Amino acid sequence: MKAEILTLLRQRQDYISGQELCEKFGVSRTAVWKAVNQLKKEGYVIEAVQNKGYRLADVPEILSKDELESRIRTAWAGSPVYFYDEVDSTNIQAKRLAEEQAPHGSLVVADKQTAGRGRRGREWESPAGSNVYFTILLRPQFHPGQASMLTLVMALSVAKGIKSLTGAEAGIKWPNDIVLNGRKIVGILTEMSAEPDFIHHVVIGVGINVAKQGFPEELEQKAAALETELGRKVSRAALIQKIMEYFEEDYTVFVKAGDMSLLIGEYNCRLVNLDREVCVLDPAGEFNGIARGIDKNGELLVEVLDGSIRQVYAGEVSVRGIYGYV
Ligand code: BTN
C-alpha cells in the first residue's frame, strides 16, 4: 500500500484527505497514517495538515522498490520491480528469477553489485549509492538470431531517456555504449538463454555512471559520470523510469518490424561514429574505414578505401575511433 499511496501523492501534487486514502485502499485511518509515517522515515517530505490531508512536499534522491513502483506507469516494461540494496549482479539475479518464472518485463535493480559484470568477462565497478544498475528480463517470441539487436534498441532507449530527463545529448558508440562529451557513461550487457530456434529469455543489463564517488582511484581518473559531466544532480529512479518508458515504445516498434528498420533513423542520428574513421578489430583481420550508420540488421556499415561497404556484425568485432575511444 505504501507504493500506491506514494503514487497517488505524486500524481495529485496537492493535498489528499486521509478519508480519500482510507476509502481508496479500504483500510483504517491508522493504517494510512502508519504508511505515511513509514514513507517519512524513508526520507519523503510529506506535509500533514488538519482538514486538508497529506501532500508530498519533496522527494529526496531515493532508490527503492516503492520509489520505482510509484513512478513506473508503463504497461509491462519495468514490472514487477525486484529491488536489492546489494546483489552479486542484476543480470545473474534476473537469470535466477527467469528460472522461477518471473514475467516478461520484470525489472531487477540494485543499489550496489558485488560481482557486476561487463562485456567480454570484464568487471563492472558497482559501488553503492551513486550509480544505476538494472536488468530487464524479456521473453521474446522471435528467432534467437534477432536477439543481438535488442542491445541496440536498449542503447537507443537509454540515450533518449538521458536526453529527456537531463537535456544532455548522449550519443551511441556502436553497438551499445553511451557516450557523453566523448567519454563512456553507460555500458550494456545482453545475455540470452535459447535453443537454436527458440528463446527462453533474454536479460539486458544496463550500468549508468551517475555520480563518481566510490570508484577505485585509477577508475576515478578515467571514468565519466553523468552528474560530473552535467554539473548537477540526477535522480536515479527518474532515469530508470524514463528508460522504461522509452524501451517499452522502442521494443514494440522493433517487434513490429522484426528488425531495426523503423529505428534506424533515430539510432543513426545519435551515432557518434557516424561519418568518422573507425578501426574494425575483426579477428579475421583489422581494417579501417568510414562508419556510415547501421542497416536494418543492426550491422555497422563501414566504407573502405575502394568505396565498397562492409557490414560489421556486432557479435564478432569491436570498433575503435582511430584517434581514441570514439
Ligand atoms: C560493458 O562492459 O560495457 C557492459 C557493462 C554492463 C554493466 C551492467 S550493470 C547492471 C548489469 N549487471 C551486471 O552485472 N552488468 C550489467
Q: How far is the CA of 279 from the centre of ligand 1 (A)?
A: 24
Does 257 score more than 70 pLDDT? yes
Ligand 1 atom 11, closest CA: 205
What b/e sequence results for 78-98 when a residue is b if at least 16 CB atoms lie within 10 Å of its CB, and e otherwise? bbbbbbbeebbbbbbbbbebb
- Residue 299 CB coordination number (10 Å): 19
In this prediction, residue 160 carries a pLDDT of 98
**82 beta partners:** 108
93, containing H or E segment: helix 90-99
175 CB under 6 A from ligand 1?
no
pLDDT digits (tens, 9 = 90+) for 193-213: 999 999 999 999 999 999 977
Assess contact for 152 and 260: CB atoms under 8 A.
yes
Residue 256, helix vs strand vs coil: helix
Q: Is the Cα dihedral 187, 214, 133, 246 positive or negative?
A: negative
- Give strand ranges (E) for the chain: 45-49, 53-58, 81-87, 107-113, 132-138, 171-173, 177-180, 183-195, 198-208, 277-281, 287-294, 300-303, 309-312, 318-321
Does residue 135 line the site of ligand 1, with CB under 6 A? yes
Residue 116 CA: nearest ligand 1 atom is 14
Q: Quick one: the chain helix, strand, coil %, rounded to 5? A: 35, 30, 35
Q: Check residue 317 and give its pLDDT.
A: 65
Give, in order, the Cα–Cα distances in Å from 275 to each of 150, 211, 223, 301: 24, 31, 26, 10
Measured between alpha carbons, how far is 294 from 272 in angstroms, rounded to an integer?
Answer: 12
Beta carbon of 53 within 6 Å of any ligand 1 atom: no
- Measure the CA–CA gap between 170 and 50, rounded to whole angstroms: 46
Q: What pLDDT, on the 0 to 100 scale, is given for residue 218?
A: 73
| pLDDT digits 0-9 by tens, 17-46 | 999 999 998 999 999 999 999 999 998 999
Ligand 1 pocket residue status of 207, Cβ below 6 Å: yes
User: What is the pLDDT of the chain when averaged over all its residues?
Assistant: 93
For ligand 1, say whether the CB of 83 is within 6 Å of any of its atoms.
Answer: no
The yes-or-no verdict on residue 168 having pLDDT over 80 is yes
Rounded distance from Cα 91 to ligand 1 centre (Å): 8
For ligand 1, atom 7, the nearest C-alpha belongs to: 207
Which residue, 148, 120, 116, is CA-closest to 130? 116
**Residue 189 near ligand 1, beta carbon < 6 Å:** yes
Q: Atom of ligand 1 at shortest distance to CA of 91?
A: 12
The answer, yes or no, to whether any atom of ligand 1 lies below 6 A from the CB of 289, is: no
Given this model, what pLDDT does residue 319 score? 80
Nearest-atom number in ligand 1 for the CA of 134 is 10
Residue 58's pLDDT band (cuts 50, 70, 90): confident
How many angstroms does the Cα of residue 51 sit away from the middle of ligand 1? 49
C-alpha cell at 297: 540488421
pLDDT at 323: 65
For residues 112-122, average pLDDT: 95
State the distance between the two ends of the chain, measured CA to CA, in whole angstroms.
47
Rounded-to-integer distance, Cα 158 and Cα 326, Å:
18
Band of the pLDDT at 320, cuts 50, 70, 90? Answer: confident
Confidence of residue 283 (pLDDT cuts 50, 70, 90): confident
Atom of ligand 1 nearest to the CA of 120: 2
Does residue 187 have its Cβ closer than 6 Å to ligand 1? yes
Q: How confident is the model over 67-83, as pLDDT tens digits?
A: 999 999 999 999 999 99
Check whether 153 has a pLDDT greater than 90.
yes
Decide if 40 contacts 56 (C-beta within 8 A): no
Torsion over CA: 265, 261, 298, 141 (sign): positive
